[in-house]
Structure 1
Amino acid sequence: MTHYTLDELGWRPAFLQSLDLDHEAISDVVRISAVHRDAYEAIGPDGEIRLHMMPIETPVEARPTVGDWVLMDRALERPARVLDRQTLFARKAAGHDHSVQLIAANVDAGFIVSSCNDDFNLPRLERYLSLVRDAGAFPVIVLTKADLSEDAADFAARARKIAGDCPVETVNARDPAELEKLMIWVGKNQTLALLGSSGVGKTTILNALTGKDEAVSGIREDDAKGRHTTRGRSMHKLTNGGWAIDLPGMRELALAGTQEGLESTFGDLLELTRQCRFSDCRHEQEPGCAVRAAIESGDLDEARLVRYRKLEREIERNETSIHEQRNKQRGFTKTVKQVQSQRWAHRKRT
């Protein structure tokens, strides 16, 4: 069993501020390395440990996700609480579930992985950029399968048009020498997260950066995707001393609470809106509209304005539904505590 110090696991002095050192011991701190349906895996100076899930009434935001630092309750063999996070990736849960789903925590860099084929999708890249930037992590767009494309430079140019200050890297994911250049974006004891659709080459990148050999099949001819699919969220040690969080492909990335990330991703568009003659300009037919002028001159793609408005409405709608779900959760938690209190009182009487 390999042992790591807290520093080697990514610990920083800022996390120490989350501890009450008069009552809580730093020796009880571990980092969540994997999340399963019925348990957590964690790593600490004493090695790997498996922890029970937190109580069902624990609010979603207070439950651990991969990358979290937690204080252990050794007697109950479960996390007592989550330490304050430096960054957090979260989305609205898929489908009709109006709750938040935590994706990963304490991530320094987010590798947004797409590929130079039919998977390439600008609206999806904008969603991931908004997610990573809102979390406070540094985004890097990684375009794989450049060796299989006749015009990888065109894919990169299209990505750079919406990337802002986010770097765009094109790689042949099967060439270790090319993948080495990705190491400059994550240093020793830092953590990166691999985000993107299934089959775009995240596992191949992970293999190169960790020196491991997860099985990856070839490319399917019908949809240009790889056959390997990551099924869980887990942390892996990089060869340079950093860490990577491998995340399963997300069919649906519904944004919520990411307004700042959205504004950062569409900063060019919002700068134009501030140049409009009227502060309440709708960017349709108003005189002096800087946005319409940029569209007519070809400096701005009108589809980008449409996508921004769509995401803005989506975030507002999802925030409302999540707020309603939280109110229901608070009511459920209160009921659980009342039932537990009544049972305890009954036991004392008997």
Structure 2
Amino acid sequence: MPQVELADLGWTPGRAAALPPGCEPGRVARVDRGRLSALTAAGERRVAPAAALYDDPAGPAVGDWVALRGELAVAVLPRSSAFTRTAAGRTSTAQVVAANVDTVLVVDALVGEARVRRVERYLAVAWSSGATPVVVLTKADLCADVPAGVAQVAEDALGVEVLAVSSATGAGLDAVRALLPPGGTAAMVGPSGVGKSSLANALAGRTVAGTRDIRDDGRGRHTTTARELHVLPGGGLLIDTPGMRELGLHDDADGVDRAFADVAELATGCRYRDCAHRTEPGCAVAAAIEAGRLDPARFRSWRKLQAEAHRQQLRVDARARAQERARLRAVHRAQRAQPNRVR
């Protein structure tokens, strides 16, 4: 990689204050085998993370800015955004998928199984990241009715731009490139086989990610095995990520409410503040479902993600656990105090 301006790698003057004396900045392009590939003004370097960095399970991650002292990364600079999930398995550990991104490209395909529910989940995490989410629907050349497919997703992707593209024909790629100005960073996230690698290659104008033949159902096969940051010809930066079999929310119900802004807004109109949206009188959510203004499947998806975010918060936040125990004790005391309680 030839010499570049740091601004072309996404560096902003405000980051300089966090850089330790005697260090130079580098942006993490790949993490593997206990070492980092870092992009610097002088070119790409392989460096080792200092022992102190291993204390933080959330970093360093692809997209991070690190402080380099020789061949050692000694610190991770503060992040402006981070697409974070709960690590797969029975754990509450945060896993940063991509750091310091301006745009999260939620990628899915216009062929194959229904995609609305999983797009909702990715959008909930994307809204929590601090970046702007955009839905990119690939394989438009294999879809018989592209406008209908886009409309299906756009109906539930409130406040989010939805783009249809074909990496094979080039249709729609200019709209995606417009999201990647010089120095701007986007991260592609989505399940395996939806065409992320083909999209990365099309945007880069060269092979930066391996691809495999599509299956009989129109879906691709998992190819990307590690997260990696690529510098694109137009000056933008793209983080390609492997497909995720699990995308667990990590302690942030705000992203869920932003992804389900319509349901959250309806909930504010319920008669009772703690309405569970089941059989309570004056439930605005139930009324909207009964009137056909809210899809029951979307409501169930909202409830599921809200409950997941709440459980995760209880797992990672000792204060929240204490508050939950206090709330349950108060409920039990109130029940025992009822005069007509069966004894």
- TM-score with structure 2 length normalisation? 0.87
The aligned residue for residue 299 of structure 2 is 305
**Conserved 8 A contact 1:100-1:322:** no
Equivalent residues of 2:222, 2:242 under 8 A apart? no
The answer for the alignment partner of 1:48 in structure 2 is 44
Secondary structure of the 1:182 match is: helix
How many angstroms apart in 2 are the aligned matches of 1:119 and 1:29? 44
Task: Assess if the C-alpha contact under 8 Å between 1:203 and 1:230 holds in 2.
Answer: yes
| Residue among 57, 60, 69 paired with 1:60 | 57
2:281 alignment partner, SS class: coil
- Cross-structure match for 1:70: 66
Corresponding position: 1:105 with 2:102: no
Cα displacement (A) at 1:283: 1.8
Whether the aligned pair in 1 keeps the contact of 2:30 and 2:38 (CA below 8 Å) is yes
**1:217 has 2:212 as partner:** yes
Which residue identity is paired with 1:133? W
**2:160 match:** 166
**Post-superposition offset of 1:271:** 0.6
Structure 1 counterpart of 2:290, from 296, 318, 328: 296
Which residue of the partner structure matches residue 145 of structure 1? 139
Tell me if the contact between 1:28 and 1:72 (Cα under 8 Å) persists in the aligned partners.
yes
SS in 2 for 1:29: strand
1:18 aligns with 2:13: no
Following superposition, the deviation at residue 149 of structure 1 comes to: 1.7
CA distance in 2, matches of 1:54, 1:126: 38
The structure 2 residue matched to 1:317, chosen from 311, 314, 337, is: 311
Looking at structure 2, the residues matched to 226 and 270 of structure 1 have their Cα atoms a distance apart, in angstroms, of: 35
The match for 1:35 is 31
The answer to whether the 8 Å contact 1:256/1:316 transfers is no
**Cα distance between partner residues in 1 of 2:93 and 2:280:** 39
- Classify 1:119/1:186 alpha carbon distance in 2 versus 1 (closer, same or farther; 3 Å): farther
The within-5 A match list for 1:1-350 is 1-20=1-20, 24-25=21-22, 28-55=24-51, 57-61=54-58, 63-74=59-70, 77-213=71-207, 214-221=209-216, 223-323=217-317
Match of 2:300, SS state, is helix
2:340 is matched with which residue? Answer: none
Q: Indicate conservation of the 8 Å contact 1:115/1:200, yes or no.
A: yes
SS in structure 2 of the partner of residue 32 of structure 1: strand
Once residues 288 and 96 of structure 1 are traced to their aligned partners in structure 2, the CA distance between those partners, rounded to angstroms, is 38
Residue by residue over 1:160-209, the C-alpha shift from the partner in whole angstroms, topping out at 9 and shown as x without a partner, is 11111100111222122431221122211100011111111111111111
For 1:319 and 1:52, locate their aligned partners in 2 and report how far apart those are by CA, in whole Å: 33
- Alignment partner of 1:91: what SS? strand
**Which letter does structure 2 place at the counterpart of 1:287?**
P
Using a 3 Å threshold, how does the CA distance of structure 1 residues 282 and 321 change in structure 2: closer, same or farther? closer
Could you say what secondary structure the match of 1:298 adopts? Answer: coil
Displacement of 1:84 in angstroms is 0.6
Shift of 1:139: 0.7
* Counterpart residue identity of residue 262, structure 2: D
- Whole-angstrom CA distance in 2 between matches of 1:119 and 1:41: 37
- Gap runs ≥5 in structure 2: 319-343
Give, in angstroms, the shift of residue 72 of structure 1. 1.2
- In structure 2, give the amino acid aligned to 1:48: E
Residues 308/283 of structure 1: CA separation in 2 closer, same or farther (3 Å cut): same
**Distance across 1 between alignment mates of 2:265 and 2:229:** 38
| CA deviation vs aligned residue, 1:102-157 (integer Å, no higher than 9, x gap) | 11100001111101122442221111111111111111101111221222222211
Q: Structure 1: which 5+ residue stretches go unaligned?
A: 325-350
| Aligned residue pairs, count | 316
CA RMSD of aligned residues (A): 1.8
Normalising by structure 1, we get a TM-score of: 0.85
